[in-house]
Amino acid sequence: MKVAIVNYGMGNLHSVLHSVQAANQLQQKPAEIILTAEPDEVYAADKIIFPGQGAMPDCMSALLQSGLAEALTDGLRRKPFFGICVGAQLLFEFSEEGDTAGLGWFQGTVLRFQSTLGADGRPLKIPHMGWNRVHQTQNHPLFAGVAQNEWFYFVHSYYLLPHDSSIVMGKADYGNDFACIVGRDNVFATQFHTEKSHMAGLQLLSNFLRWDGTL
């Protein structure tokens, strides 16, 4: 089995690679893990991990210029697919960040956090940065061994707003509830950084490496 981590030049992708390699060591049948910027290698992979960091306009531009956008869309149709952070936001139709069109796999938008107050009455900082609990709203194979209301690590100024609530798999609270895990069929995506989320993130990635893309 070959797993492609998509490299479109944004963020520290080697931390994702190291995290996936660590999860791979836990498998009875380890996969071949590659970090690639080549569309042909993404087409040929059995599974796709789509991470991201940085501004969504730059990320989307890089995907379109490299031919990776088409390879990703092909993978979304038929392969186990894991999106992380901006890699989750890019699956939606539109983002307020730079008024950017995404891949449009999920209906919905990506909105900027508005200034709001925390439980202590003090303004919450933007970006949302640090550890936050995630409440699983549906059962999913990737949640095996992951506790309800587990802590995960976030760094983001924009959040997911799906049109269809049935794709929301998990929520977090930052002034208000927001969707932080979305999924449908063979596609699963998180707003938080699995590679920075210690054992909980490792468990999600390990589950993904075993997942056949069915629910």
- pTM here is 0.96
Per domain, the residue ranges of the chain are: 2-210
Q: 105 vs 38, 47, 93, 186, CA distance in Å?
A: 21, 17, 7, 12
Measured CA angle at 99 (ends 160, 64), to 5 deg? 90
CATH top-level class of 2-210 = alpha beta
pLDDT tens, residue by residue, 175-210: 999 999 999 999 999 999 999 999 999 999 999 999
pLDDT tens, residue by residue, 101-126: 999 999 999 999 998 877 788 889 99
Q: Are 95 and 158 in contact (CB under 8 A)?
A: yes
**Residues labelled as active-site residues:** 85, 193, 195
User: What pLDDT is recorded for position 118?
Assistant: 79
Where do we find the tokens 């990506």?
110
